[in-house]
Structure 1
Amino acid sequence: MTGASEVYISGTSTDPALRASRALRAEAGRILTEYREKAAVVTELQLDGSARAEANARLSAFATGPLTGYLSAADRALNATAAGAPATRLLVRALRRIQDSVLRSVDELRQADTSAQVSHAAQALDALLAAYLDAETNVLLPALADLPGADVPALVDDLRTLLDGGELESPEILDVREIPHGTRHPRIFGRYARLAPGESFVLVNNHDPKPLRREFAAAHGEGFTWEYVESGPEKWQVRIGRAAVPA
């Protein structure tokens, strides 16, 4: 019987996916708001001498610290999950191009010497960052929710873990026999998303995971590898990998 804490109505405030989406939007909004508050000091106020240098330093420190850290965490926790799926591969490529542009603007801001240079770099970074966060929350997030096996609450938890300075678990062996059936596939897809090309892990299950293989084929095409290590009758082990990039 499902416990009371696990019962929810989809689309309401008790829906874990909805709560996770709101948490991600709040985090993205916080990053943009904090950046704009610091950028406004150097672009809108007429500061001189040490006051200007201090404001510039605070803005640069935020851009190279929390802002860049958020982009890195989002790429690992969110983009990596969608990058291998045919339906979202091009979206992730576009998002990563915007990320690259954001990082170039961060570097320009860090190296700016004059007030005009700082102001120009800060405004360019504002536009690019806003575009990236808008695409992340309004395009990528709904796409992840529709991706077979993707678990938005778990992905947002991973993002939070990385932002808090933690590391994601990447076990060599993933034994799902004690995990409830309804939550096994998202856990497996989440583990797969952390693989680099050529890496793999061993899935341990209590039945032949043929339905999972069909989901992988639908989501990742020929981008994954699947090799039976043990085939029943009580335990199945499958080595699942991300295909190596052709030389």
Structure 2
Amino acid sequence: MTRASEVYIQATATDPAVSAQADVSLVQERLRSKLSSLTRPALDADGAHAVRSALTGFCTGELRPHLAATDETLYAAASGAAETRLLVQALRAASAALQRQVDALSAAEDDASALAVAQQAEAVLGVHFTVERTVLLPALAALPGADLPSLVADLHTLLSGGALERPAVIDVREIPHGRRHPRIFACYARLAPGEAFTLVNNHDPRPLRREFEAAYPGAYSWDYVESGPEVWRVRIGRAAVDA
């Protein structure tokens, strides 16, 4: 029997995936608007120092945690699928550029330099969020094995200071093939440096290892615990210090 809460019209406001996309858009707009509001008053030299301090606090206290949480949830799920792997690589490159701008803002020696960096970050952030909103989120909503509402709930958990579950064992034998890799990559992204989980599968996951090598070269460990003929167990870990 289907519960009333599970009944919805796909691709409408009642669709949980559509609601999740709208939720992320609201979070993005709040961040973008706040950064914009902080850069504009800084054009007034009398308030430049106070705004510089506010900009640094916002970027380190709100923007940086948002970028990290997005990587651990949305990017992690998308990085495990062939359809979205290159997109995630591009988004991570842009996120890294934003992180460098945050570092540059914190290290700025004067108000004018800080303002210039913040305005550059604002421009990059606008494009970055647009790509996430118009490309990544619809792709995740359509991606087999990626539950967008759950991923967005995980995003909010991290943004509120919580932590995600990190299971010690992931048994994918009962999961349809198309849904396995996104689930595994999402679990890997939750690992802290030096942590690992054991993957249980009904075949040698060599294709998965090739995907790990493409996505995380030098940053993961792969150790066979059991090698068939009916069950394969592989201990997959995040390097103690990412390459």
Normalising to structure 2: TM-score of the pair? 0.77
Q: Which amino acid aligns with 1:200?
A: F
Q: Matched residue of 2:126: which SS?
A: helix
CA contact (8 A) 2:170 2:197 kept: no
Q: CA deviation at 1:228?
A: 7.6
Normalising to structure 1: TM-score of the pair? 0.76
What residue number does 1:166 align with? 162
Q: CA deviation at 1:221?
A: 8.0
Measure the CA separation in 2 of the matches of 1:100 and 1:126: 14
What residue number does 1:152 align with? 148
Identity %: 37
Q: CA deviation at 1:190?
A: 3.5
CA contact (8 A) 1:170 1:191 kept: no
Q: CA deviation at 1:97?
A: 0.9
Range with greater deviation from structure 2 (157-166 or 146-155): 146-155
Matched, 1:61 2:57: yes
Measure the CA separation in 2 of the matches of 1:111 and 1:85: 37
What residue number does 1:40 align with? 40
Q: CA deviation at 1:53?
A: 1.8
- Structure 2 gap ranges (5+): 213-221
Matched, 1:101 2:97: yes
Q: Which amino acid aligns with 1:117?
A: S
What residue number does 2:186 align with? 193
What residue number does 2:217 align with? none
Q: Matched residue of 1:195: which SS?
A: helix
Q: CA deviation at 1:158?
A: 0.7
CA contact (8 A) 1:150 1:189 kept: yes
Which residues of 2 match residues 15-94 of structure 1 at below 5 A? 15-42=15-42, 44=43, 46-48=44-46, 51-94=47-90
CA contact (8 A) 2:170 2:199 kept: yes
- Structure 1 gap ranges (5+): 232-236
Q: Which amino acid aligns with 1:33?
A: S
What residue number does 1:118 align with? 114
Q: CA deviation at 1:81?
A: 1.1
Residue deviations 1:219-245, cap 9 Å, x none?
Answer: x584378968896xxxxx764665999
CA contact (8 A) 2:167 2:197 kept: no
Aligned length: 225
